């Protein structure tokens, strides 16, 4: 992962500041940086979103393609995650350099979404055992400024919210052969409910305290962090410890509590922004990367 090298003095400055609940950029320990979200930025996808969290810049594209359901789940569609850590973010990712991190993030995402309560996968089924929609969720990492997991989960949620899947009907004729008919109206589409889609909140243990939304510099001071995926109701659906250090059991519970609290606020503000943007309709001026 992209990293910065800090001197001992810089680290002490950051750690001492956090103990006083004051971070280098003036935030408190439970504050996020300003998040910019824009949906529908790539027009040849079924849904897309761009999220900028400080210097972290994420673009997510969702493409719906028709496929066959998995054998063990004949009446469900599925989501496929792919994370491309492009060389744009840092030269270390050139060639195959970003593959490890990409796979790690993609696995984390698919673990969160494989939970039945996250997305209604049955809505993606067209005809059980034969056809279903496969949603390819492709994450493109454009700039890396710390707290990748949170930014990516926000972007994925926004992109899934924006996804429109064309409505299809299965027609059965007299001989029993099936035909798939696509609706004539391009606006006739299915949308997935993102009500229960969780967001990841990463809590970085720095000194005796923990912070949310760590910058690259703060990540360099932290030995271990906890990923908590929280739904809008504050339910924890997945948890993972990352980093080379170790954590005490008590601090894990403390971090979980913070994660739930922060996650709820994050969800409600994201929902507000998404609905607000949606209400502007097709007349909305798209900013994309030109703004």
Partner 1 sequence: MAGLELLSDQGYRVDGRRAGELRKIQARMGVFAQADGSAYIEQGNTKALAVVYGPHEIRGSRARALPDRALVNCQYSSATFSTGERKRRPHGDRKSCEMGLQLRQTFEAAILTQLHPRSQIDIYVQVLQADGGTYAACVNAATLAVLDAGVPMRDFVCACSAGFVDGTPLADLSHVEEAAGGPQLALALLPASGQIALLEMDARLHEDHLEQVLEAAARAARDVHALLDRVVRQHVREASVLLGD
At closest approach, how far in Å is the CB of 243 from partner 1?
A: 22
Kindly compute the dihedral angle of the four CA atoms of residues 206, 212, 214, 218, in this order, to the nearest 10 degrees: -20
Contact 249, 59 (CB under 8 A): no
Token pair for residue 195? Answer: 């009500």
Token pair for residue 290? Answer: 């030109």
> What is the rounded distance in angstroms from the CA atom of residue 219 to the CA atom of residue 242?
12
Contact 138, 161 (CB under 8 A): no
In the chain, what is the greatest distance between 2 CA atoms, to the nearest angstrom?
79
Phi–psi pair at 13, nearest 5 degrees: -60, -45
Contact flag: residue 289 with partner 1 (CB under 8 A): yes
Rounded to a whole number, what is the distance in angstroms from the first to the last CA of the chain? 27
Residue 246 or 285: which CB sits closer to partner 1? 285
Contact 132, 168 (CB under 8 A): no
Contact flag: residue 144 with partner 1 (CB under 8 A): yes
Residue 104 or 143: which CB sits closer to partner 1? 143
Contact 47, 160 (CB under 8 A): yes
Residue 18 or 85: which CB sits closer to partner 1? 85
- Of residues 237-276, which lie at the interface with partner 1 (CB under 8 A)? none
Contact 210, 251 (CB under 8 A): yes
Q: Using CB under 8 A as the criterion, what x/- string covers residues 99-128 for binding partner 1?
A: ------------------------------
Residue 145 or 259: which CB sits closer to partner 1? 145
Contact with partner 1 (CB under 8 A) among 62, 214, 226, 230? 62
Contact flag: residue 48 with partner 1 (CB under 8 A): yes
Sort residue 281 into left (φ over 0), alpha (ψ -120 to 50) or beta. left
At closest approach, how far in Å is the CB of 176 from partner 1?
A: 31
Contact flag: residue 57 with partner 1 (CB under 8 A): yes
Contact flag: residue 25 with partner 1 (CB under 8 A): no
Token pair for residue 17? Answer: 């500041």
Contact flag: residue 279 with partner 1 (CB under 8 A): no
At closest approach, how far in Å is the CB of 216 from partner 1?
A: 9
At closest approach, how far in Å is the CB of 188 from partner 1?
A: 21
Smallest CA-to-CA distance from 29 within 154, 206, 235, 234 is with 206
Name the DSSP letter for residue 40. Answer: -
Contact flag: residue 142 with partner 1 (CB under 8 A): yes
Contact flag: residue 87 with partner 1 (CB under 8 A): yes
At closest approach, how far in Å is the CB of 96 from partner 1?
A: 7
Residue 33 or 205: which CB sits closer to partner 1? 33
> What is the rounded distance in angstroms from the CA atom of residue 205 to the CA atom of residue 225?
6
How many residues of this chain interact with partner 1, rule: CB under 8 A? 32
Contact with partner 1 (CB under 8 A) among 96, 244, 276, 283? 96
Q: For binding to partner 1 (CB under 8 A), which residues are involved?
A: 42-45, 48, 55, 57, 59, 61-63, 65, 82, 84, 86-88, 90-91, 94-96, 136, 138, 140, 142-145, 288-290
């Amino acid at each position: 992962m992209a990293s910065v090298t800090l001197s001992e003095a810089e680290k002490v400055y950051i750690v001492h500041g956090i103990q006083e609940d004051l971070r280098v950029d003036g935030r408190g320990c439970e504050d996020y940086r300003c998040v910019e979200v824009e949906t529908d930025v790539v027009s040849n996808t079924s849904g897309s979103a761009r999220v900028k969290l400080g210097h972290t810049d994420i673009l997510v594209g969702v493409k719906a393609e028709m496929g066959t359901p998995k054998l063990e789940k004949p009446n469900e569609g599925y989501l496929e995650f792919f994370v491309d850590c492009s060389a744009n973010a840092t030269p270390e990712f050139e060639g195959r350099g970003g593959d490890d991190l990409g796979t790690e993030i993609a696995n984390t995402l698919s673990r969160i979404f494989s939970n039945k309560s996250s997305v209604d996968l049955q809505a993606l089924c067209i005809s059980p055992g034969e056809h279903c929609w496969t949603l390819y969720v492709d994450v493109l990492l454009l700039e890396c400024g710390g707290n990748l997991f949170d930014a990516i989960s926000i972007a994925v949620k926004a992109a899934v919210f924006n996804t429109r899947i064309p409505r299809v009907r299965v027609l059965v004729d007299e001989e029993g052969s099936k035909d798939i008919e696509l609706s004539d109206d391009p606006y006739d589409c299915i949308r997935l409910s993102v009500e229960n889609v969780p967001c990841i909140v990463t809590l970085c243990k720095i000194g005796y305290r923990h912070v949310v939304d760590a910058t690259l510099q703060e990540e360099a001071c932290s030995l271990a962090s906890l990923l908590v995926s929280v739904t809008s109701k504050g339910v924890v659906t997945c948890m993972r410890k990352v980093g080379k250090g170790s954590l005490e059991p008590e601090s894990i519970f403390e971090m979980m509590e913070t994660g739930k609290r922060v996650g709820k606020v994050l969800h409600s503000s994201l929902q507000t922004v998404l609905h607000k943007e949606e209400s502007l309709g097709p007349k909305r001026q798209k900013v994309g990367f030109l703004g």
